[in-house]
């Protein structure tokens, strides 16, 4: 299995781009019409930060009936984009046939979507086809927060001889409704970067946000974490977009957003990223602790209902003594201070008693 030591940095993918900082990839969620694609690309070309034009050609939909892309016809439009704007082009592929067609129309970069990454069989089929080509490939995280699945997809593509690879962080499907379309779980791309220091990571704030309201904050967070670039969905007229209308910016809105982002130098990124990586790990651990505490209180209330039904006293001294004794020993074996453990347990026990008393009364 590859250790990804041969992965090339983004600034060596295309020598004519002359990249000096993080790269911006922009374009519509879907290529809908030739005019829409060309108008968007021409407007984006005006902004020096945008180097690569992205567009969805084949759109995988959960259910049939909605817009599923224009396929090969749209690839002809992208070829015109290259001719008229000199922007590099980037499309999503999900099958060997997609790769063949993208190469035929001189697409510069391929990306593999979250649904495809979740299927090792599909990834291997793509890898087998890519053995015949030397083309950059960007790999989105799978829908669920499985870093092994993400890493496995990257390793399969690298095993096909592709050394121009980047990961795209587009967030993970939430089991419960949140303000964001996908939860970032920043600790996962951080861990991926820890495993493979030389692997470029691109942030996709559009898919994390689900609405333009949060794109700037999510984009800045990625840059602060030393991401190598951003992929932001941009449409000449988002209100008329056939897919993901709420999360697409106009080209002028993108220009304003990018102009207000803080692109850090290598030295400041290194200093900030180191502590931010650790803080993200703390945030993740804290969230997990809170989730576990909420689950514990749910169980406490079930016990309280049982005590009420069976006329059992709320406070049980022997149970409390057992908790203190066993948790102190276990916590101490993990290197935690015994007094610290006691204080935490006392606070939790006090809250538990209060909740059960409310149930009793």
pLDDT by residue for the chain (361 residues), tens only, comes to 446 879 998 888 998 887 767 899 999 999 999 999 999 999 999 988 899 999 999 977 666 777 777 999 999 999 999 999 999 999 999 999 999 999 999 999 999 999 999 999 999 999 999 998 999 999 999 999 999 999 999 999 999 999 999 999 999 998 777 788 999 999 899 889 889 988 999 999 999 999 999 999 999 999 988 899 999 999 999 999 998 999 999 999 999 999 999 886 654 444 555 677 778 778 878 888 898 999 999 999 999 999 999 999 988 899 999 999 999 899 989 999 999 999 999 999 999 999 999 988 8
Distance (Å, rounded) from C-alpha 294 to C-alpha 255? 43
Give kind and range of the element (H or E) at residue 181. none
Provide the pLDDT for residue 232: 97
219: Cα separation from own chain's centroid: 11
Cβ(53)–Cβ(64) below 8 Å: no
DSSP string, 209-254: HSSGGGHHHHHHHHHHTT-SEEEEEB-SSGGG-SS-GGG-B-HHHH
| CA separation, residue 19 to residues 8, 142, 165, 295 (Å) | 13, 28, 16, 48
- Is the model's pTM score more than 0.85? no
| CA separation, residue 224 to residues 138, 158, 271, 330, 347 (Å) | 21, 27, 10, 37, 36
Q: Is 185 left (phi over 0), alpha (psi -120 to 50) or beta?
A: left
Same fold yes or no, 10-263 and 273-360: no
* DSSP structural state of residue 9: P
Check if CATH label 2.70.70.10 holds for domain 10-263.
no
Cβ(126)–Cβ(112) below 8 Å: yes
3-state secondary structure of 11: helix
Provide the pLDDT for residue 273: 58
Compute the residue count for the chain: 361
Class of domain 273-360: mainly alpha
Q: At what angle do helices 266-309 and 187-195 cross, to 10 degrees?
A: 130
Q: Where are the domains of the chain?
A: 10-263, 273-360
Distance (Å, rounded) from C-alpha 227 to C-alpha 220? 10
CB atoms within 10 A of CB 222: 24
Provide the pLDDT for residue 272: 52
DSSP string, 19-68: --S-EEEEE-SB---HHHHHHHHHHHHTSTTEEEEE-BSS---SSTTS--
Tokens of 192: 């991926």
């Amino acid at each position: 299995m590859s250790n990804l030591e041969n992965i090339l940095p983004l600034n060596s993918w295309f020598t004519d781009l002359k990249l000096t900082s993080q790269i911006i990839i922009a374009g519509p969620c879907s290529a809908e019409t030739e005019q829409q694609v060309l108008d968007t690309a021409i407007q984006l070309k005006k902004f020096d930060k945008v180097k690569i034009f992205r567009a969805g050609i084949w759109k995988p939909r959960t259910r049939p009936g909605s817009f599923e892309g224009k396929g090969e016809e749209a690839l002809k439009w992208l070829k015109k984009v290259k001719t008229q704007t000199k922007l590099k082009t980037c499309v999503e592929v999900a099958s060997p046939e997609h790769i063949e067609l993208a190469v035929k129309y001189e697409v510069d970069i391929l990306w593999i979507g979250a649904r495809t990454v979740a299927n090792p069989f599909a990834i291997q089929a793509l890898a087998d086809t890519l053995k015949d080509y030397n083309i950059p490939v960007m790999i989105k995280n799978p829908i669920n927060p499985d870093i092994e699945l993400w890493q496995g997809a990257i390793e399969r593509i690298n095993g096909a001889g592709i050394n121009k690879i980047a990961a795209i962080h587009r967030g993970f499907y939430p089991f419960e409704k949140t303000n964001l379309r996908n939860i970032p779980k920043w600790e996962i791309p951080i861990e991926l970067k820890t495993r493979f220091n030389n692997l470029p990571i691109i942030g996709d704030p559009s898919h994390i946000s689900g609405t333009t309201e949060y794109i700037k904050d999510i984009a800045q967070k990625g840059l602060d974490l030393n991401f190598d670039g951003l992929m932001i969905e941009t449409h000449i007229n988002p209100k008329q977009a056939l897919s993901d209308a709420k999360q697409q910016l106009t080209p002028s809105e993108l220009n304003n957003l990018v102009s207000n982002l803080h692109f850090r130098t290598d030295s400041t990124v290194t200093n900030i990223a180191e502590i931010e990586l650790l803080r993200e790990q703390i945030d993740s651990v804290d969230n997990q602790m809170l989730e576990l505490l909420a689950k514990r209180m749910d169980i406490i209330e079930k016990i309280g209902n049982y005590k009420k039904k069976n006329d059992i006293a709320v406070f049980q001294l022997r149970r409390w003594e057992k908790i203190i004794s066993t948790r102190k020993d276990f916590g101490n074996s993990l290197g935690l201070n015994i007094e610290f453990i006691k204080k935490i347990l006392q606070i939790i026990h006090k809250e538990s008693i209060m909740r059960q008393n409310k149930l009793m009364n």
